[in-house]
Amino acid sequence: MKKDIILAGVGGQGILSIATVIGEAALKENLNIKQAEVHGMSQRGGDVQSNLRISSEPIASDLIPKGCADLIISLEPMEALRYLPYLSKEGWIVTNTEPFVNIPNYPAMEAVNGELAKIANVIKVDVDAIAKEAGNPRGANIVLLGACSHLLGIEPEKFEQGIERIFARKGQEVVDSNLKAFRAGQKAAGR
- pLDDT tens digits for 96-112? 999 988 788 999 999 99
Q: Residues 144-155: pLDDT tens digits?
A: 999 999 999 999
- Separation between Cα atoms, residue 72 and residue 88, nearest integer Å: 10
pLDDT band, very low/low/confident/very high, at 41 (cuts 50, 70, 90): low
Integer-rounded Cα radius of gyration of the chain = 15
Whole-number pLDDT of residue 103 = 81
Handedness of CA 99, 100, 101, 102 (dihedral sign): negative
Nearest to 2 by CA among 57, 74, 72: 57
State mean pLDDT over 16-20: 91
Is 171 a residue whose pLDDT tops 70?
A: yes
